[in-house]
Each structure stands twice: as structure tokens, then as C-alpha cells.
Chains A and B, each alone.
Chain A
């Protein structure tokens, strides 16, 4: 297991190098002067400043050297300065991260709570109206243009009915709770600010519900398929023959087995989640990395784009590694195979 994880972490290095390299090359393909883009026209008129900047980023050297210098700076935590916010990219990323983690985490929680019961129900009632309905709903969820759904949701539930708070993480009148984790819900709980907690939670509900249409759609379908594969297994009949009730058989023997493959697609779902985060954060003015990414793209803010790509790439890879490790923990067969080095 240890070898496996370290080998996988080792594989992360070429992935990161590849991601930065590709993004870096794309950024250099734009026909604008990076100095002007980074420093603004006023600063660019001062030759001293320009020379210092060019030296720091090796702009007089070849592209490859520039890339190596970029990597060296990256290694020291220097991702460059954002063209749009005029702040160090690393600092921007750190300040926007918690909002995104809060939104994405809540979405995953919601999806799991919706998907698992629905998937199990559809599988057990295979071929009935319930099954048909669940499958229809999940297909619609997967096919949903969520930016459209977000607009409709805001229009209906915020502007017209007023049952959810509007965009943002907190109502403008409230101060954020003292920062511990950066997640407003958790921080407000830690500070025992119940009002702030309720407000933060209320702000989370609509965006994460909409974000969850994709993830819950995929997860429900997977749970159903996986459950259908488990239901004819002999060990369920063994459990019944021991005297287990139908409910016990489904919950204690079938479900744990069915959920193992579902874990493996969390990585896949995560890719969808990143896309969704960009849309939803933009539409809900959610001060997270997704909105930062949108703004960076609109203003061709390449230092920021590379930084965001890196964060997303690392997160994606780590999540997938985590998924595989969890998968192995859950399934003793995979554990054995990994111990023998067969994976």
C-alpha cells in the first residue's frame, strides 16, 4: 500500500509538469506583450521596471528557459502576479479556496444523500414505475444545462418567491465569522454564531442543489447499475438462507458491496464538479476559485490561469488517488492485489 501510494504520488510529478508546460505554452501564444499585460501601460513606460521584470521572469531567454524559470519560481511558491487583481496569484488562490471547498463539499454531501437511496430504490424496484421515474430524472439531471437551471432558480426562488437568499456567501449585513477553516458554516459553528451559521447555510442551499443535478444524476445512475449487478449475487441468497430479512439483506449485504464501485466514479464526478463550480460561482457571485477562473479567462490573466489549472489538476489527481486508496480499503480483494503489487 505504501509503495502504491508513493508510486502514485511520483506519477503526479510528470502530470504537474505536463499541465504547467501546456498552459505556459498556451499563455505565450497570445500576441500581447506580457510585460504590458502584467504591469500595465504606465509601468511599462519605465525602462527600469521593465528590465527588472524581464530579468525576474527571463523574458529575454528562449521559451524553454522561461518555462524553467517559471518552474523555479513556482517551486518557491511564487506563481507570479495576477494581471487583473494585481495581487500575487498564490495569495488569490488561498483566499478564494475555502469558498469553493465549502460549496463543492456541501454539493457532494447533498448528492450522496440524494443518490444512494434513489439508486437503491430504483434497482430493487427494477422495471416498475419508480425505476422509470428515477431513471428519467437522472437522465434529465445529467443532460441539464445547469447555467440555465441556475438562472431559472435565481429568478424563481430569489426574485419572485424570496424563499432563498440571493447571491454571495453571506448577507451583506453580516460579518464573516472569525477565520479558522475559511468555511463559513464551520467557522460560525466554532464561534457559536448561530445566526451567521443559518445565513451561510441558507446561501449554500440553492447553488449546491443546482450544482448537484449533474453529480447526483451520475451517482444515482451508478448506484443503480452497481446495485443491479449485486442483487443476483449468490451471497445475498446465502444471507437469506441464514434467516436474514429482506431489508437486512439489502442494507447489510448488498449495499456495502454496491457502493464500492460507486466510489471509483467520484473522481469522474469531480471533473464535472469543477466545470459546474465555474458556472455556479460566476452566476451566484460566489467568491471562489471558479469565479476567479472566469474572470481570469475574460481578462486573459495568464498567471492566474496557470495557477488555477495547477490547483484544479492537483486536486483532481489527489482526489483520484484518494479514491483508489479508499477503494482498496473498502474492498479486501483489491487490497490483496495491491499488496502483491498487481496494480
Chain B
């Protein structure tokens, strides 16, 4: 195949891919919107260097608190820093931090949930009691306590949130396994002669994972939100790091210059909203499948 043909082929594949995307968008506009928003947000955050040439920490005392203009589309803050640059670079902190928290919480929670749901009564009892304790903890108070004890920092914030993030996954995972265990197709798999570990890993888990994924999508949004709350209270990342929550906090001092607090807040709202929407659409798309009916 010559290079031309290969290029043609690639173009054809791309065209087919696009038309397929178009179909998905028509069938499920909600999913399309959330994916587009998240892809745009990710691109903007990753490509922050291309979108703005200013550094998020570059101070410019001569251009303090400027309203949005061509040079500074989101205006500047008290120290003359470009709000747009700070919002874009801020995403580089919030998003990865949230993903780490959810990844940790989801994997630990799922493993404990499997243990509780499939490991016999005693293990179940122990795991669930511990889970109950952590579940009864006020998330923010604990995170605040951890930050207070260890000092406010990015890592401590992640530790604080991870420490309280897993119990909901234990609950959901265990509940689903308990329910699936009694389902006829699982009983049938046992009767076919599969070992119980095989039944867990090959039959039960594939039916649990999609629901947990949906949960995780929504949770990334929640983690971003909680992270920004910690930072807003001065217990997450300390300034001058451009974190969305702490940027809103700096805006408190200059509420008349609305742009300082508005844009980082808007960034939180849009990204968290998109994750929620994504979770919703994936749940809707999976629902008939997850339930095992037509």
C-alpha cells in the first residue's frame, strides 16, 4: 500500500470516526456535551503554555487589579498576576490531585468491598465496622485536623481526602456483590464448575466495575470540589500556588474587583458539572446492561 493510499485510508477512518461521533452526539447529547467540556478543559490545562504566555506567578505591580481586557482576558489580581494563567495552571493542581484521591479511594474501597462481600461473615463484620467509623467521620473536619496536625500542603491535602474517600466504595461494592451472588447466572457459573475465585473475578467483578466507574467519574468532580474547599479555608495548598479554591479566597479581599474570585469559581463549577454530567450519561447508557435485562 502506497503512502497516498495509506493517507486516504487514514482519512476514511477518521471520517468514519467523526460520523460515528456525530451519531453518538445525536443519540446522547448529554454525553457529548460532558465529553466535549472535559476534553476542552483538559486541553486548556495541558496547553496552558500555548494559550497564555504569562507565568501564573509573574507579579506586575503596575497592572494590579485590572479588569478583563485583551492583554488579560480574565483581568489581574492584587499582585498583578494574570487570572487566566492562574486559572489554567491551577487545573494542573486540582485535577491530578482529585484523580489521585479517587483512584486511591476507589481501589482500596473496591478491594475491601470484595473482601467483605465474598470473604465470609467475620471478615465482613470487621470491614464493615471499620467502614462505619470512617463513614461517620465528618470529612472536612478530619481533613482539617490532618492539615492542622501535619501542616497545610498539597500532599497533606491528598492524604486527608484519601483517608476518608474509600468507605462509600466498600459499601457499594459489597452491596452489589451480595446481590449478584444470589443471581441465577452466578449460581449457574458455580454449577458449571468454576472455582469460587474464578466466579468472583470473571463473573461477578465485570458486572460490578461499570457501576463503580460511574461512581468514580462523579467522584472526581466531588474531590475537586472538596479540594477547593480545603484550599479556600487555607488548609490545602498555600498561596502563591494557583489553586482554584485559594484563588477564590484571595478574591474575598477585593470583592469589588469581581473577576478575581469569579473566574476560578467558575472553573470549579464547570469542571465539576461536567464530571457529574458524564457520570449521569454513562449511568444512563449502562443501566439496561448493568441490570442484566434487555
Contacts and interface: CB of A to CB of B under 8 A. Distances in A.
Interface of A: 11, 14-15, 18-19, 22-23, 26-27, 29-30, 139-140, 142-145, 147-149, 151-152, 154-155, 159, 271, 274-275, 278-279, 282, 293-294, 297-298, 300, 302, 305, 308-309, 312-313, 316-317
A12 to B, nearest CB: 9
Interface stretch (B38-46, B190-198, B228-236): B228-236
Count chain B CB atoms within 10 A of each CB in A27, A30, A147 and give the residue with the most.
A147
Contacts of B129: 11, 14-15, 18
Provide the main secondary structure of the chain B interface. Answer: helix
Given A14-B133, A151-B252, A23 B276 contact: no
A16 B148 CA distance: 22
B212 interface: no
Specify the main secondary structure of chain A where it touches its partner: helix
B251 A143 contact: no
B133 A151 contact: no
Interface in B132-172: 132-134, 136-142, 144-150
A143 B272 CA distance: 5
Given A26-B145, A282-B233, A309-B142, A139 B273 contact: yes
A135 to B, nearest CB: 8
Nearest to A135: B280
Interface residues of B, number: 45
A151 B136 contact: no
A19 B255 CA distance: 39
Given A18-B133, A145-B245, 7 more contacts: A15-B133, A27-B149, A139-B273, A275-B139, A275-B140, A309-B138, A313-B138
A165 to B, nearest CB: 17
A317 B136 contact: yes
B130 interface: yes
5 contacts: A143-B221, A145-B265, A147-B232, A154-B255, A278-B233
Contacts of A275: 138-140, 226, 229
Contacts of B133: 14-15, 18-19, 22
Given A145-B268, A274-B138, A305 B225 contact: no
Contacts of B276: 139, 142-143
A298 B251 CA distance: 20
Contacts of B255: 151, 154-155, 159
B269 interface: yes
B149 A29 contact: yes
Contact of A313 (B136, B140, B273): B136
Contacts of B237: none
B229 A147 contact: yes
A297 B235 contact: yes
B246 to A, nearest CB: 11
Contacts of B233: 278-279, 282, 294, 297
B269 A143 contact: yes
Nearest to B218: A142
Contacts of A282: 233
B277 interface: yes
A312 B147 contact: no
Contacts of A305: 141, 144-145, 148
A18 B130 contact: yes
A139 B248 contact: no
A93 to B, nearest CB: 13
Nearest to A214: B225
Contact of A148 (B144, B265, B277): B265
Contacts of B282: none
B283 to A, nearest CB: 10
A148 B268 contact: yes
